[in-house]
Amino acid sequence: MIVNLQVVRGIAALLIVFDHWADAHGGTLARIGLAGATGVDLFFVVSGFVMVYTTTNKPVSALAFAKNRIVRIAPLYWGATIFAFLLTAAAPALMRSTSADPIALLKSLAFIAYEKSPGRVYPVLFPGWTLNYEMFFYAIFAASLLLRDRAAQFGCVLLVILGCVTYGAIASPADAVTGFYTAPILLEFGYGMVLALLHPQIVRTTLPRIWLIGLLIVGAAALLGLHFLDGPDRAFRSGLPAAGIIFCVLALEARGIAWRAPAALLLGEASYALYILHPFAVAGLFKLASAAHLNTGPMRWIAGVVIIGSAVAMAIGIHWYVERPVHQWLRARLLSPARTKQAGTQATEVLG
Q: Which residues contact 320 (CB under 8 A, 6 or more apart)?
A: 270
Segments in 227-298 forming alpha helices (H):
234-237, 239-254, 262-269, 271-291
Question: Which residues lie across from 117 on neighbouring strands?
Answer: 120
Predicted pLDDT at 344: 45
Nearest to 185 by CA among 239, 137, 230: 239
Cβ proximity of 71 and 327 under 8 Å: yes
**pLDDT tens digit string along 161-172?**
999 999 999 999
- A 10 A CB-CB count for 72 gives 20
- Which pTM was predicted? 0.93
Q: Which amino acid is at 253?
A: E
pLDDT of residue 246: 98
Boundaries of every domain in the chain: 3-335
Sign of CA dihedral 272, 16, 13, 66: positive
Compute the radius of gyration of the chain from its Cα atoms. Answer: 20
Please give the pLDDT value at position 351. Answer: 44
Q: What is the pLDDT of residue 58?
A: 80
Low-confidence residues of the chain, pLDDT below 70? 95-97, 336-352
pLDDT (tens digit per residue) in 57-70: 887 899 999 999 99
Which amino acid is located at 178 in the chain?
T
Rounded Cα gap, residues 199 and 86, in angstroms: 45
